[in-house]
Chains A and B, each alone.
Chain A
Amino acid sequence: MDDADERELIERAGRGDKEASSELIRRYRERIYRAIFRFTRNPDDADDLFQETFFRVFRSLRSFGRRSGFYTWVYRIAVNQCLNFLKKKGREMPSAKYFQALESGGQSPLGASEATAATELRDRLAAAIESLPLSYRACVNLVVFEAMSHHQAARVLGCSEKTVSWRMHKARKMLQNSLRHHLGEKSDEL
């Protein structure tokens, strides 16, 4: 689909055309759902936020200024929804138990004891990322998982590229500190 097609879809959706709205959702729903899930790590919350995101998208479609692409705009709304949701829920540190396990070097509460070392590291890594402060986690999600440039991530988060760069550096330091024992083991294997 080219830009002209998408513009037409957006205009039709803005006028309340169900087919156009459905097509827009269909086009981006999987990527948006996955992005939301990376923040919530909970299917029920992801379902709710997915619906809320697209509801707000279509309710504010007339204000879509086309300065950014449609996907970027939807993505920004999704990220804002996730950040607000997690702040409201007070779940910036949902994985204290994981961190305790990481600190003590004990068995992963994710049930990875029977898994391979690589899988265990990934479980611990997922928990460590989930335990990052929200603003850092948002940067990691966008830059590492969504493969966005600092410029794109800055647009989504409404901050400067320097801020993204600084937060990525800090996030990496925090992850290294959390996983230092496991990183050493893993690197030896590699």
Chain B
Amino acid sequence: MNCKKIERWVSDELDGALAPDKKQRVARHLATCRACREFQRTAQLIQTESRRVDVPAVSPEHLEALSGRVWDRIRREKGAPGEGRWAIFRGLRWAWLAAPVALALVVSVFLSPSRVGPPPDDVFSIEGCFDRVVREIAGDEELAAGFGSFLEESLAQEESLLFFSDGSALWNEPDFWISLSEEALGWLEDEIKEEIRS
């Protein structure tokens, strides 16, 4: 039995993620392999001690003050027409949205001609996704840059990230669409088209 595989299974077992049939195989291997027993011992020790690592207590008053600031910010940003950053985005909004809207139209017309239009908040259709981009995402440059860079670094490296174990696609997750950069959107366009074809 490969010790590397056993170590991985020991790690899974510590997280409660190991199948019962594998537990028996791990136990049999550990009975004969000192190196793997040592891995298990130290991994268990780390697990136990990690859970004792404290996070300093934060007072309810402090959390209340922070919560108040959140609400103040929401009120400021959503304030009267013409106030805050929304006013700036209002002017730029349609320029920002031109690319995703054009893309959504192309996809709707050429790839999904039978669809009439996305129902509200339907993230399970390509049109719905782009509709969500239009309404919720585009316009927030900071968020787009941050999440876009996260996507480019992470998704491009690991194909497995695109799908969950139940077969659902990452882009169907609601907050996936919270923000996308232009580059990420272009890259995802190819992925989504591929998905539609398959």
Please give the residue numbers on chain A whose beta carbons come within 8 Å of chain B beta carbons, in ascending order.
Answer: 16, 18, 21-22, 25-26, 29-30, 33-34, 37-38, 43, 47, 50-51, 54-56, 58-60, 62-68, 73, 76-77, 80, 83-84, 87-88, 118, 121-122, 125-126, 129, 135, 140, 143-145, 149-151, 154-155, 158-163, 165-166, 168-169, 172-173, 175-176, 179-180, 183, 186-187, 190
Contacts and interface: CB of A to CB of B under 8 A. Distances in A.
Contacts of A161: 17, 165
B173 A158 contact: yes
A149 B50 contact: no
A190 B45 contact: yes
B174 interface: yes
A152 to B, nearest CB: 11
B91 to A, nearest CB: 19
Nearest to A158: B170
A165 B176 contact: no
A186 B45 contact: yes
Interface residues of B, number: 59
A54 B147 contact: no
Interface stretch (B62-70, B93-101, B109-117): B62-70
Nearest to B70: A54
23 contacts: A29-B63, A51-B73, A65-B121, A77-B178, A80-B146, A84-B147, A87-B150, A125-B50, A135-B154, A145-B51, A151-B165, A154-B165, A158-B176, A159-B160, A160-B164, A163-B160, A166-B8, A172-B14, A173-B7, A180-B42, A183-B42, A183-B45, A187-B41
A18 B136 CA distance: 21
Given A140-B50, A186-B45, A65 B174 contact: yes
A43 B65 CA distance: 14
B196 interface: no
B143 interface: yes
A166 B154 CA distance: 15
B70 A34 contact: no
A169 B67 contact: no
A186 B46 CA distance: 10
Contacts of B123: 65
A180 B43 CA distance: 11
A64 B178 CA distance: 10
A146 to B, nearest CB: 11
Contacts of A183: 42, 45-46
B16 interface: yes
Nearest to A183: B42
Given A80-B147, A154-B165, A159-B158, 20 more contacts: A21-B74, A43-B56, A56-B143, A60-B178, A63-B174, A63-B178, A64-B174, A76-B175, A77-B175, A84-B147, A121-B49, A122-B52, A135-B154, A158-B154, A162-B160, A165-B8, A168-B15, A169-B11, A176-B42, A176-B46
